[in-house]
Amino acid sequence: MRRDIGEELGRIIILNLQRGEDLLKSIREQLKQIGIKNAVVLSAIGSLQRAVFHRVTGMEESPVDEYVTLEKPMELASLQGVIVDGDPHLHMVISDLEQTYTGHLEEGTVVLYLVEITLAEIKGVNLQRKKNELNIAVLEEKK
């Protein structure tokens, strides 16, 4: 187990994405434009017309992922995760009229009407993600 402790919260960022915007691409662009390196998602809700995500499919030592694309009206019930060194690692919970889906957010996920995301900047941490010998992207101190 690792533990990294930030010193304080910085800016609170509220993103309001509109119809047709790519969710992950827009988040990345805003992080870069605002200059956010490390943050946590406080809240995210909205609606999607296309969802692209991946999820694990087995219990192998190295992850085996399935990539899923759904095109239909969906509710974004939750988006959770962290931004480390400017790179978002986000998982979402979405639903259509029949079922609920979860997975790791990928580019190509498109807003239907709107998505509202609130982020809190974390100050005092210097982390990065790096793939280990099992191809798992883990957090480590940035040198």
Which tokens hold the place of 41? Answer: 């998602």
pLDDT of residue 12: 96
pLDDT of residue 32: 96
* Short-list 84, 25, 19, CA closest to 49: 19
Q: How far apart are CA 78 and CA 87, in angstroms?
A: 19
pLDDT of residue 1: 65
* Short-list 23, 100, 104, CA closest to 68: 104
Which tokens hold the place of 16? Answer: 């309001």
Domains and CATH numbers, the chain: 8-141 (3.30.1330.80)
Residue type at 14 in one-letter notation: I
The Cβ-side half-sphere exposure at 19, using a 13 Å CA radius, reads: 3
Question: pLDDT (tens digit, 0 to 9) for every residue of the chain, 143 residues total?
Answer: 666 677 788 999 999 999 999 999 999 999 999 999 999 999 999 999 999 999 988 888 877 889 999 999 999 999 999 999 999 999 999 999 999 999 999 999 999 999 999 999 999 888 878 888 887 877 778 77
How far CA 74 is from CA of 50, 71, 78, 89, 92, in Å, comes to: 8, 9, 12, 21, 12
